[in-house]
Amino acid sequence: MTSTETQPGPAQAAQEATALQQFAARLPKTDLHCHLIGTVRATTFAELAAKAGLELPEDPETIFANISSVMRDFTPYENARIPIVEDYSLDPDGERYSLFQASDWVMQSLTEAADLTRITYEAFEAAHRTSNTRHLELFIDDVPPNLTELGYAGCVEAYAEGIRMAERDFGMSGRLIVGIDRSKDGAYAVRRVQQILNAPHEYVVGIGLDNLETAGPPERFEAAYQLAGKGGLKRTAHSSEHAPVAVNTITCLDVLGCDRIDHGYFVMEDDAVIARVREDQTPFTGIFTTSRRSWRPWRRASIKAMVDAGLNVILASDDPGMFPTNLANEYRIAVDDLGLDRAWLRKSALAGADACWLPDAEKAALKASMTAEIDALEKELFG
């Protein structure tokens, strides 16, 4: 048989590529790493800011379009195994806004319980409509400054109402993860966990260490995480994302008792850590798109290296409204930019069902439903 007989022609190759792109877009998905404040639409932010009387330097559409976080000290990253190139050509022209500044403005614009329900419902609606997301887990922050009278429990119930509405309208499932701000001290984290345990809610299933990793090493939060574990809460942490070390991920697993890891790209700095997380099939939630725009190529290269090393990478959206991106776009990047194939897309999507924090029976039902849908999709697109 000649090479021309074994190789697909241009038309067939284009058809196969289109089918794979359709498969990635229509694949049923879970999103296990998504910050609620980072999902807020610019149009919604504009309405909420006007209602709150919040003065902004520019309109929300422009602010979101110009979110770009800048590295202050590049020195620690100069010898990274996967080279990091500071390519500021990806940054916007004009005024730049940090992700944290934009998030703070959104928090200030929230003035009533209905606002919390609205942004939660809209997060689910967007995930459903853009990405065929079937299960969404949202990080929530401290009580917004204008809603202290609601308190933690009142805010959670307002968020939960948005999830109930989404479950009814879109057939989705969802849960909440309480964010632990690592820029604060360990005592704050313990109080935060105790707050959760004192007011248990069916939709609050776990905690997650967030904010800049360089602002707070994971060992600072051992007491809070041990308390959470004893209280039956699931645990995750942003790790090996900003600090160019792999050991933080081991600390998160062995000291904090994390069930999964958010980001984790710098685990590729240490062969022993790579071997450990590959053997354990530790779930990593990976996102190609970041507000640190100059690092986006490095993110892609790092996630590809994690996949090539056999790590359990599950794609997520992080702050989709502000980057902007969505989960379907992250899957598109996996296909178009990284060349990942159908088998990996299927495996990763179903790994999300395995790693989600639904009760066991609901998790099994979710995976079975997703598997049946993927089987049908593969038959339709690939025969």
Q: What is the pLDDT of residues 142-194, one digit of tens each?
A: 999 999 999 999 999 999 999 999 999 999 999 999 999 999 999 999 999 99
Say which range, 75-84, 91-100, 202-211, 314-323, has the weakest mean pLDDT: 91-100
pLDDT above 60 (res 2): no
Residue among 30, 164, 179, 189 nearest 107 (CA): 179
Q: Which residues contact 335 (CB under 8 A, 6 or more apart)?
A: 20, 21, 24, 345
In the block, residue with structure tokens 């959206």 = 317
Tell me the pLDDT band of 6, cut-offs 50, 70 and 90: low
Q: What is the pLDDT of residues 218-243, one digit of tens each?
A: 999 999 999 999 999 999 999 999 99
Report the C-alpha gap between 292 and 282 in whole angstroms: 25
Q: What is the pLDDT of residues 256-272, one digit of tens each?
A: 999 999 999 999 999 99
More confident residue, 87 or 337: 337
Report the C-alpha gap between 34 and 326 in whole angstroms: 10
pLDDT above 70 (res 319): yes
Tokens at 93, concatenated: 């022209």
Give percent of the chain with pLDDT exceeding 70: 98
Fold designation for 10-382: TIM Barrel (3.20.20)
Beta partners for residue 312, in sequence order: 283
pLDDT above 90 (res 100): yes
* Cβ-based neighbour number of residue 83 at 10 Å: 11
**Burial level of 1, CB count in 10 A (0-12/13-18/19+)?**
exposed
Q: What is the pLDDT of residues 141-152, one digit of tens each?
A: 999 999 999 999
pLDDT above 90 (res 69): no
Say which range, 87-91, 150-154, 172-176, 366-370, has the weakest mean pLDDT: 87-91
For residues 265-292, average pLDDT: 98
Per-chain mean pLDDT for the chain: 95
In the block, residue with structure tokens 């359990």 = 312
pLDDT above 70 (res 9): yes
pLDDT above 50 (res 1): no
Give percent of the chain with pLDDT exceeding 90: 90
* Cβ-based neighbour number of residue 141 at 10 Å: 19
| 89 contacts 126 by C-beta, under 8 angstroms | no
For residues 335-353, average pLDDT: 98
| 213 contacts 182 by C-beta, under 8 angstroms | yes
* E strand or H helix that includes residue 68: none
* Residue 15 pLDDT: 84
* Residue 89 pLDDT: 77
pLDDT above 80 (res 7): no
